[in-house]
Amino acid sequence: MAPNKQSKKTTKQPPSSTATPYIDPTSSFTPESFEKELQALAAKAQTETFSKRLLAQALVYGKSALLLTLIAAASTVSQLALSPVYGAIPAAQWHARLLMAACFAGWSGNLFLARALPFRAELLLPVVAAWMPVVQFGLGMVSGTLTAKWGPLVTEAVTLFPLVAVSTACVATCLDEADLSVLPGWIADAAPGLGAYGFFVTAEKVCGVLVEAYVGRTVLNTRMGMEVVLAASYAVFAPSKLLAWTVPALLHTALLNTHVPTSMALARLNTGLAPEGYVVLDRAESITGYISVVDSPKEGYRVMRCDHSLLGGEWVKFLGQGRFKGNQVAEPIYGVFAMLEAVRLVEMPELVPDNKAKALVIGLGIGTTPAALVAHGIDTTVVELDPVVHRFASKYFQLPSNHTAVIEDAVTYTARLAADDTAARYDYIIHDVFTGGAEPIALFTLEFLQNLDTLLKPNGVVAINYAGDFALPPPRIILNTITTVFPSCRMFREHPRDDADFAASGRDFTNMVIFCTKRAEAISFRTPTERDMLNSPSRQAFLLPQHEVKEEDFVGGEEAEGVVLKKNETERLVKWHDMSAMGHWTIMRTVLPEVVWEAW
């Protein structure tokens, strides 16, 4: 039986690797399209590789920039936290060198740190940042033992140093991944370190500007607020189970740290100060420092504090009492403020009635001198840089409202007025700026004093309050500069030198007032009248200047011989600031108990 015949079918066979490619005529696929598709795939792969590489490099530099910015913020905030306890100048004495050492240690030891820790080094940063306020608080309470010379160094060595060192190590590790192949070898080796340092310096300057512009505006812009924000930023940057170690620190800051700007913290602060006989009525942080009003109910006086110095004080126990009832002015606790009012006592060919006179006061303090000038009926303008100082002087001290307040930098303000021929000119100018152990140099330069000379009427008088150490050159330099501008001057100390103390300490720190006129004739003072005294015992004792400065008072004046301070040569005074500020710090610790300074 013959088999069934099957119809033949054409079957498509896949082409072998060696055979000529089979092309389906029904398909759009062609050799040309195949080649284009290969090229597209290659381009896509190359693009994806470039994008990933670009993203990776962006992460490297972004992470490094963030860490460096946080270091810059920590550096700025650390100095702010130390200034109420030590003052700005002692706080900065070791700061730059400690930062440099921390950066070097972190940069050179990043590999060691990576091997020594069982976790990534960056996870330590939130813990260190959170404990900074706790350690600063504790060490601040023993600042009297540490002293202004070593206290800032010890404090930053156990707070800022580890934070900066670990952060720098993380930056170094991160920048190891930077692709610098386009640069020559030696430049590629140096670029990460130099670039990181340049970025840090810039970030630190920007942080300083931002702090000056916004400090004190909200709780987050205060010293403690910024430290908490800094710790939170590190926590977001490097979250881990180690954050549990920050809980005790955060609880201390929230519940026990009296530096936190809240009503609860202020109440705790005053509970601690009560046994010492002091109470903080108000406090705020502003562009010139930590400002507070401190009352002593036991002794009966009130002072305004700025960082580790006093802007002035008055006896509140006399207000409205007995013979003082109805007085227009308060009793100052420092005689030098009463002495400034002696500008009215300088004898001139033509006497200017008080109700026709105009006065310019540079630097407000608690307002002792402006209040007295207003009480005499003098049209008084006050130039004060810090709005908080003006607010506190108006609220807690006897500064009358009928004065003209200019809240501005005195250098800018006086320069603008001096250049304007139609602007006001003054019969009296009182230069009474806060020094805090060191001169605000711009306000003692030749150029600034020349502007004051322009603003002073021909028969006007200028009185300049200066606090300094006669054992150092700055007082002589200041006097040289003043007498270069004003032809006739006399200088008086607040009190005579204590020879025993000078022999023991080598310091002769005191307040002094320099009276000057534009006339060549020697300065003399008329005898004060009862009206001049304003029914004030302080003015009866101190209004008429008594302790005139003699040549032998300038025991540290040899290096200042013939030196005049110009705005481009201010380093001549800066180099003496450390010694002057240290002496001032010691004196302040005798004016108020240490606990008042330490608790702030």
Confidence at 320, pLDDT banded by 50, 70, 90: confident
- Domains of the chain, by residue range, sit at 48-261, 409-521+541-600
Does the pLDDT value for residue 7 go beyond 80? no
Tell me 241's DSSP state. Answer: G
Output the average pLDDT for the chain. Answer: 90
Across the range 84-100, mean pLDDT stands at 95
Confidence at 29, pLDDT banded by 50, 70, 90: low
Does the pLDDT value for residue 439 go beyond 80? no
- Separation CA 34–CA 38 (nearest Å): 6
pLDDT at 180: 85
Pairing of strands 426-431, 379-384: unpaired
362-382 pLDDT tens trace: 999 999 999 999 999 999 999
Tell me 350's DSSP state. Answer: S
- Separation CA 371–CA 380 (nearest Å): 9
Does the pLDDT value for residue 199 go beyond 70? yes
125-136 pLDDT tens trace: 999 999 999 999
- Closest among 228, 247, 206 to 81, alpha carbons compared: 228
Phi, psi at 331, each rounded to 5°: -90, 115
Tokens of 70: 């946080």
Q: How far apart are the first and last CA of the chain?
A: 121
Q: Is residue 89 a contact partner of residue 581, using CB atoms and an 8 Å limit? A: yes
pLDDT at 121: 95
Does the pLDDT value for residue 246 go beyond 60? yes
pLDDT at 535: 93
- In this structure, of 180-184, 239-243, 245-249, 265-269, the range with the lowest mean pLDDT score is 180-184
Does the pLDDT value for residue 37 go beyond 90? no
pLDDT at 1: 44
pLDDT at 52: 85
Query: What percent of the chain lies above the pLDDT cut of 90?
Result: 72
Across the range 385-408, mean pLDDT stands at 96
